Amino acid sequence: MLIVIIPTEFHEGLHLGLYNLGRDSIIRIGRGDNWRSMGTAKYRAQGHPNGDEGEGDSTGGPEPQRQHLGAWPTLVIKAGYSQSLEALRGDMSWWFGASDHQVKIVLLAKFDTQQMTAIIEKWIITITQNPGTNRDNPTSYTVTRGALRLEFDLLFLQQPQPGSAEGDVIIDIPDLQRWAVRLWRLVP
């Protein structure tokens, strides 16, 4: 059986609106020329050329660090309109594991018209270093609330330059509210 999912205008607005808010903030901090939008490119798990693959809805990473073909993004946005939050979380886990933690931030955007809610979850990976413990599961995940903060060092794989406008990318609550209002206009 083949299942074909056709992205709707609503689905595209769900992730592209969020991605564009982040991209606009990247430009404001003076790093627009150092950011590579990677779109919906498909990726395969590292070391498994015939294995399963993932496709982000919106992705991006820093230049020059991630400008070569096959480079993993540092930011992945997955959107779900018909997809459950649990399925999106499974996708999130795949991105971190398949990239061998080269993906640094995964944003999940879920819109539920029945509950009249828009949910954004930000997931980052934290490698735990506990001497003498089993390393079978070396990661933990963090979910944050409030204004959306995308850490500069995770996006660009370096610290911000002192004395510059560089810093964490902040998508504030009013911007997120405008994003949600635009989405409501597209509800099928």
Q: What is the pLDDT of residues 139-165, one digit of tens each?
A: 444 445 789 999 999 999 999 999 999
In a domain, 110, yes or no: yes
Give pLDDT tens digits for 45-104: 866 666 678 888 899 999 988 877 888 999 999 998 778 889 999 999 999 999 999 999
**49 is a domain residue:** no
Residue 165 included in any domain: yes
Whether the CB-CB separation of 64 and 81 falls below 8 Å is answered with no
Note whether residue 152 is domain-resident: yes
What integer pLDDT is reported at residue 113 of this predicted model? 74
What integer pLDDT is reported at residue 6 of this predicted model? 54
Question: What pLDDT, on a 0 to 100 scale, did the predictor assign at position 141?
Answer: 45
Domain-located, residue 52: no
Assess if residue 2 is contained within a domain: no
Whole-angstrom distance, CA of residue 2 vs CA of residue 15:
25
- Confirm whether pTM is higher than 0.75: yes
Separation of alpha carbons 80 and 64, rounded Å = 31
Structural domain including 167 reads 9-44+68-185
Q: How many domains does the chain have?
A: 1
Residue 18 domain flag: yes
Classify residue 63: in a domain, yes or no. no
Q: Cα separations (Å) of 72 from 2, 42, 101, 120, 144?
A: 27, 10, 9, 22, 23
CB 106 within 8 A of CB 78: yes
